[in-house]
């Protein structure tokens, strides 16, 4: 349920919530927000608060596996980060453009996000190594293998290279289905963050959405990497995400 006061009031509250996050990030030692239990709880609390102020309820099905794991999901919106961050502490892998976002790019880095330059094989190899190190130190990594957000109607092919980190460490890969269904089960039009849309424009659209909607996070059974190539592992993860994504979308009355 949306908080009272309308979009302007909730925007001010969200700004205050963000500034609180900046203060905590400034005071926390380097790495503490992802390396310590207290830091991880703070990050989860911040993400849950952001969803509350956006007026987007979080609906969860299944459970995340215990760390370390490579958690992979389809990608529709920057809100995906808040939804997964509220449930799964770990390192996000995000495109380098997000690092340039005012305040939020810096906050994400302080919370352990790895930024990757799309199309740069050398950068991908460096991120894969950091992912491997995180998994080897019992930390989970959260990845959107499509490499970009979509309109929620279909799941794009997965980039496979970064799945090698799970193979190298023997860690499970847990597929996750993200949805923002309207009353008919289709993706709510305010949810996708695509094209040339800007963060502030999309944020304002979420706050002013005329109909309420939730973000659904469905954790699926983990896939074990033994005996699989990175491409086979990526394809398998995508297959199960697509199967559950399409069945939920096509089910009558699938909305929240």
Please give the torsion angle defined by the CA atoms of residues 93, 148, 229 and 161, in that order, rounded to the nearest 10 degrees.
-60
Q: Among residues 72, 55, 76, 75, which one has the least CA distance to residue 64?
A: 72
For 135-174, write each residue's pLDDT tens digit.
Answer: 999 999 999 999 999 999 999 999 999 999 999 999 999 9
Spell out the domains of the chain, with CATH numbers in brackets: 6-250 (3.40.1130)
**pLDDT tens by residue, 25-71:** 999 998 899 999 999 999 999 999 999 999 999 999 999 999 999 99
- Separation in Å, CA 109 to CA 21, 32, 93, 162, 209: 12, 12, 10, 19, 29
pLDDT score of 252: 47
> Reduced to 3 states, what is the DSSP secondary structure of residue 142?
strand
Q: Minimal CA–CA distance to 192: which of 182, 202, 207, 177?
A: 202
Cα–Cα separations (whole angstroms), residue 4 to 9, 226, 244: 8, 51, 35
- pLDDT digits 0-9 by tens, 66-113: 999 999 999 999 999 999 999 999 999 999 999 989 999 999 999 999
Tokens of 82: 């808040």
């Amino acid at each position: 349920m949306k908080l009272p006061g309308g979009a302007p009031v909730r925007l001010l509250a969200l700004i205050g919530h963000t500034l609180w996050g900046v203060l905590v990030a400034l005071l926390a030692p380097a790495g503490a927000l992802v390396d310590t239990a207290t830091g991880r709880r703070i990050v989860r609390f911040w993400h849950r608060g952001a969803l509350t102020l956006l007026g987007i309820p979080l609906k969860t099905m299944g459970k995340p596996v215990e760390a370390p794991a490579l958690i992979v999901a389809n990608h529709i919106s920057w809100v995906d980060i808040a939804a997964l961050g509220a449930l799964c502490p770990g390192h996000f892998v995000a495109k380098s453009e997000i690092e340039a976002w005012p305040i939020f790019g810096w906050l994400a880095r302080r919370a352990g996000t790895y930024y990757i330059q799309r199309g740069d094989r050398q950068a991908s190899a460096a991120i894969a190594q950091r992912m491997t190190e995180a998994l080897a130190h019992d930390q989970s990594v959260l990845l959107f293998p499509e490499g970009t957000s979509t309109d929620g109607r279909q799941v794009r092919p997965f980039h496979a290279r970064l799945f090698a980190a799970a193979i190298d460490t023997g860690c499970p890969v847990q597929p996750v289905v993200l949805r923002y269904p309207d009353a008919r089960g289709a993706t709510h039009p305010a949810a996708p963050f695509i094209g040339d849309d800007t963060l502030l424009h999309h944020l304002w659209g979420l706050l002013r959405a005329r109909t309420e909607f939730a973000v659904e996070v469905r954790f699926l059974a983990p896939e074990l990497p033994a005996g699989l190539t990175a491409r086979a592992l990526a394809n398998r993860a995508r297959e199960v995400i697509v199967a559950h994504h399409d069945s939920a979308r096509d089910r009558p009355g699938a909305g929240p």
